[in-house]
Amino acid sequence: MNKKRWVALIVAAGLLFASLGFQFITSLVTYDFESMFNLQENDNKFDEKVIKKGSGTNKIAVIHLNGVIQNTTPSTLINTNSYNHDRFLDMLDEAGEDKNVNGIILRVNTPGGGVVESAEIHDKIVEIKQEYNKPIYVSMGNTAASGGYYIAAPADKIFAHNGTLTGSIGVIMESFNFAEFADEYGIDFNTIKSGEYKDIMSMSREMTDDEREILQTMIDDMYADFVQVIVDGREMSEDRVRELGDGRVYTGSQAQEKDLVDELGSLDDAITMMKEEQELGNAQVIEYEQGFNMDQLLGGTMTTMFGSEPDLVGIKDLLRQNNAPRAMYLYSK
């Protein structure tokens, strides 16, 4: 490479770093440092955003659940808005323990997710209701299916929009099978295992009848748990739940006709009814926000610098997930 090309390369690199540095400084200048250094008067773990004014000693907490329910740690370098399981459970704890919070509304917009994660949220909701005797309403967004309905079942009241997709009561487990493709292209799989069923659901061969029976028994057990959650939460008979729970989705209006939801309406409607029914007319309505940390600042800055390309984030999340098949309370289109 001649001298001129080296000079051009150095100049281009300098301009790139100068541009990145300028955007980083711009992000710092435009960041809301007032809220960053805002010290709360209490020991709450999360900042509170007031969405409806009222008495600060009488509050309704709105907690949002967006995205697939799974216990993976989202990268804060590019994306700070994906579902964070531990943080969501912490928000539930915060609302339960806060003596000034007298009602909780979960805004649910999810196709469901992991069996264990959904059960953890469900159990936390039941715990809060029993230990703190606080009413919990659910307001469904575009989708509150499968695991989304599992966590909604124990709520005191469920709201849905007419067009909400809910239901999808059931369990699913899937994997790929590349056996024919491998045979056609001469690909060999070398598997060394300690037991007959160690490679159950292997992608390199057909599933045996015994393996299918083993997995079906597991799915049936998980489905029975799902059914019982609805029997307990909605006070419906098991036969009725199993009749409705064939995996199909329902619109909000269909779900109301089948007693899977109580009311049709928006989040505002849920707030209004909670105030009326729970005598919280002067309550302040708040949403929890994650308090400031350096990861969030850097995450926001990197998003500003490189853009919020959803395909990149999706690929990154996909690569981070475990490739092993898992049972899911998940509505998949």
Which residues belong to the active site?
146, 198
Q: How far apart are CA 142 and CA 64, in angstroms?
A: 13
Place of tokens 């805004």: 107
Q: How far apart are CA 24 and CA 204, in angstroms?
A: 48
Residue 289 corresponds to which amino acid? E
Q: β-strands 112-114, 328-330: how paired?
A: antiparallel
Q: How far apart are CA 263 and CA 272, in angstroms?
A: 12
Q: How far apart are CA 266 and CA 84, in angstroms?
A: 24
Place of tokens 């105030």: 275
DSSP line for 132-182 = H---EEEEEEEEEETHHHHHHTTSSEEEE-TT-EEE--S-B------HHHH
Assess contact for 240 and 234: CB atoms under 8 A: no
